[in-house]
Structure 1
Amino acid sequence: MKNVAKKAYTNVSDLAHYLVVRVIPFREDHKIIGNILLFAINQLIQFEKMSLV
């Protein structure tokens, strides 16, 4: 179950919350998160293994 949860990108909501707290409008936040997820999926990278740097 843990592996399934990781593949489901459960930390995405944490990132979305972080961006909203940083005063990024929700629509822009949604677009940013969507682009990050598409990149991760296309590169076969788990979201949890992506770096902020």
Structure 2
Amino acid sequence: MNDANILKNIKVMIIDDSNTIRRSAEIFLKSSGCEVILAEDGFEAMSKIVDNP
């Protein structure tokens, strides 16, 4: 299997209060083929989980 596609089509949620950390992780994961959802805290994450099962 090609390592570049190992994460393709995986949905990932990044939950962190630091915008820099969220954006850095988002860039890395998207470049690996992941679908990325961002949340600043647990409350926002729970709301997004309901909206993005």
In the superposition, the TM-score normalised over structure 2's length comes to 0.35
Q: Which has the higher helix share?
A: 1
Q: Which has the higher strand share?
A: 2
